[in-house]
């Protein structure tokens, strides 16, 4: 037994996390679980005893990236045949049988509900080569699971729910992740307190739709959760990501407006600006309701920054419907916007629809939307020049001539622009006052002031 424990302590694992921030949290749980079980996490796949690829299976491009990554990791087996290759996540949950047949190089497939057992499953004598563990168990993450925060020492994602209650025509997520399952308030609060005790200053709350938190049981809601979180003494910023417009209430907006710890940033995915297309998407919102919600939010919180995501190329999207989307983007002038091309996915209502749009048209429309947004973003950022604003300093800048980089409260990690700092004194992981000197299309430049 002692020899076995020593062997376990020497085992090295390399994990590749693909896809969204919710997937990242799953990866962090897997790393934490393996460390608890005696593994050592390494940055390079070469020489590792096990390689874990946590996949995304949402759209075609994500699936292609996942498969390419799996095949790349499988190449390492040629020089290291004892290495175990484990494939986890959404792609496994969605295509477990097909993957097992088509990827004989993979030792173990683990779905979205069983990845927290990864250490146990790797060492299980019943886990033969190509074994599949992807049962639907209604898994729900909790604060007692081991987790290694990989975002930054000062910032972390906290997933407050699993699954989704929406039935959007283009989306496969409910089939992969199951129906909405919300964590209890006390579970989320305890986890956030643990993260704050470790030095985290910014919490980014995530779910498929934060506004739907607790609605499957009616026992709680997002407001109750937020009222508990803002009481955590050393927590500086709380960010809300993925709040569907149809679930935003006046009561929520009033609390959002007055509570200082909740940063004045809201991610509101609208998907489109045409009523006829929103209806075909099976979205429970109209163009008029989207406009009214955004205008009400800006009237109550003039400094708010709104991020949204829109989709082009949905089946049957006419030029007129596309023009409706363009006019919505121009009218509402979102501070941050991501545009995606529709991906035809089997198992979805939209995947069976006629009049699929050709890829070149999708790409042209996406490029035009992003060109419009580039001008909007440039215009919005000019307003910060000459102002002094709090910036969460992330660390050294590796992709620019500037020395440091950070984010304003109205810039979310990974998806929005940055504030580059050209001098100090700078303290990484701290919120410091910065005077903005220049603005670009998506980024700002400034210097720390005393």
Q: Could you read off the pLDDT of 265-278 as tens digits, one per residue?
A: 999 999 999 999 99
CB 38 within 8 A of CB 7: no
Q: Could you read off the pLDDT of 37-73 as tens digits, one per residue?
A: 999 999 999 999 999 999 998 888 899 999 999 999 9
Cis previous bond, 306, omega within 30: no
The three-point CA angle 62-64-66 to 5° equals 70
Distances in whole angstroms, Cα of residue 396 to Cα of each of 172, 240, 424:
38, 26, 11
Parallel, antiparallel or unpaired: strands 84-89 and 419-421:
unpaired
| Per-state percent for the chain, helix, strand, coil, to nearest 5 | 35, 20, 40
Nearest residue to 223 (alpha-carbon basis) of 253, 245, 195, 201: 253
Residue predicted with more confidence, 107 or 130: 107
DSSP conformational letter for 21? H
CB 86 within 8 A of CB 76: no
What pLDDT was estimated at residue 127? 65
- CA–CA separation, 276 vs 287, rounded Å? 10
DSSP conformational letter for 173? H
- CA–CA separation, 245 vs 309, rounded Å? 12
Handedness of CA 341, 345, 347, 353 (dihedral sign): positive
315 pLDDT more than 90: yes
CB 435 within 8 A of CB 412: no
The three-point CA angle 322-323-329 to 5° equals 95
What pLDDT was estimated at residue 131? 86
CB 325 within 8 A of CB 310: yes
Q: For 88, phi and psi rounded to 5 degrees?
A: -125, 175
What pLDDT was estimated at residue 36? 93
Parallel, antiparallel or unpaired: strands 12-17 and 444-448:
unpaired
7 pLDDT more than 60: no
Distances in whole angstroms, Cα of residue 400 to Cα of each of 238, 382, 421:
28, 20, 10
Question: Tokens 């307003």 label which residue?
Answer: 383
**334 is written with which tokens?**
């979102």
- Number of Cβ within a 10 Å radius of residue 428: 16
Least confident window among 18-27, 66-75, 408-417, 424-433? 424-433
CA 405 to chain centre: 21
Q: For 433, phi and psi rounded to 5 degrees?
A: -80, 130
Nearest residue to 76 (alpha-carbon basis) of 102, 97, 45, 106: 45
- Number of Cβ within a 10 Å radius of residue 423: 11
Model confidence at 130, pLDDT cuts 50, 70, 90, reads confident
CB 271 within 8 A of CB 317: no
Question: Tokens 């121009």 label which residue?
Answer: 330
Q: Write out the DSSP string of 185-241.
A: HHHHHHHHHHHHHTT--EEEEE-S-GGGTTTTTSS--HHHHHHHHTT-TT--EEEE-
**pTM for the predicted model, two decimal places:** 0.92
CB 149 within 8 A of CB 169: no
Sorted by where each starts, the structural domains of the chain and their CATH numbers stand as 2-133 (3.40.50.12160), 155-381 (3.80.30.20), 388-448 (2.40.50.140)
> Who's near 93: CB < 8 A, 6+ residues apart?
57, 111, 112, 113, 134, 176, 177
What pLDDT was estimated at residue 10? 79
Share of the chain above pLDDT 70, in %: 97
What pLDDT was estimated at residue 246? 84
Alpha helices in 259-358 (DSSP H): 275-280, 287-300, 319-332
- CA–CA separation, 351 vs 357, rounded Å? 11
Parallel, antiparallel or unpaired: strands 336-341 and 305-312:
parallel
What pLDDT was estimated at residue 6? 41
**430 is written with which tokens?**
């701290």
Parallel, antiparallel or unpaired: strands 50-55 and 12-17:
parallel
- Number of Cβ within a 10 Å radius of residue 319: 9
The SS3 of residue 307 is strand
């Amino acid at each position: 037994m002692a020899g076995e424990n020593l062997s376990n302590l020497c085992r090295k694992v390399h994990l590749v996390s693909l896809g969204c921030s919710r997937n990242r949290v799953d990866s962090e749980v897997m790393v934490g679980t393996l460390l608890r079980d005696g593994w050592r996490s390494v940055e390079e796949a070469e020489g590792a005893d096990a390689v874990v690829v946590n996949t995304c299976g949402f759209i075609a491009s994500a699936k292609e990236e996942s498969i390419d990554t799996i095949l790349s990791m499988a190449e390492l087996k040629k020089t290291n045949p004892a290495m175990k290759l484990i494939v986890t996540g959404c792609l496994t949950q969605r295509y477990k049988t097909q993957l097992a047949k088509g990827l004989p190089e993979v030792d173990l497939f683990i779905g979205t509900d069983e990845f927290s057992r990864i250490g146990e499953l790797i060492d299980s004598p019943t886990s033969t080569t190509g074994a599949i563990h992807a049962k639907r168990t209604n898994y729900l993450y909790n604060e007692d699971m081991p987790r290694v925060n990989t975002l930054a020492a000062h910032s972390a994602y906290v997933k407050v729910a699993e699954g989704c209650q929406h039935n959007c025509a283009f989306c496969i997520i409910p089939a992969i992740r199951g129906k909405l399952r919300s964590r209890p308030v006390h579970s989320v609060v305890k986890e956030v307190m643990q993260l704050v005790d470790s030095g985290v200053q910014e919490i980014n709350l995530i779910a498929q739709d934060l506004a739907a938190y607790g609605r499957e049981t009616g026992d709680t809601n997002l407001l109750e959760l937020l009222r508990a979180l803002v009481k955590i003494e050393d927590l500086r910023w709380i960010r809300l990501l993925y709040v569907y417009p149809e679930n935003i209430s006046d009561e929520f907006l009033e609390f959002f407006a007055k509570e200082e710890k909740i940063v004045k940033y809201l991610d509101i995915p609208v998907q489109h600006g045409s009523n006829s297309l929103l209806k075909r998407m099976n979205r429970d919102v109209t163009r008029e309701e989207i406009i009214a919600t955004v205008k009400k939010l800006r009237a109550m919180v003039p400094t708010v920054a709104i991020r949204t995501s829109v989709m082009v190329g949905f089946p049957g999207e006419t030029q007129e419907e596309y023009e409706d989307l363009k006019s919505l983007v121009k009218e509402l002038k979102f501070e941050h916007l991501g545009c995606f091309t529709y991906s035809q996915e089997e198992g979805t209502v939209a995947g069976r629809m006629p009049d699929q749009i050709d890829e070149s048209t999708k790409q042209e429309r996406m490029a035009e939307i992003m060109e419009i947004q580039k001008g909007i973003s440039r215009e919005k950022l000019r307003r910060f020049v000459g102002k002094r604003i709090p910036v969460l300093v992330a660390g050294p800048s590796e992709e620019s001539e500037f020395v440091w980089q950070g984010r304003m409260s109205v810039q979310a990690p990974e998806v929005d622009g940055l504030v580059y700092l050209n001098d100090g004194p700078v303290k990484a992981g701290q919120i410091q006052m910065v005077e903005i000197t220049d603005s670009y299309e998506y980024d700002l430049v400034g210097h720390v002031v005393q």
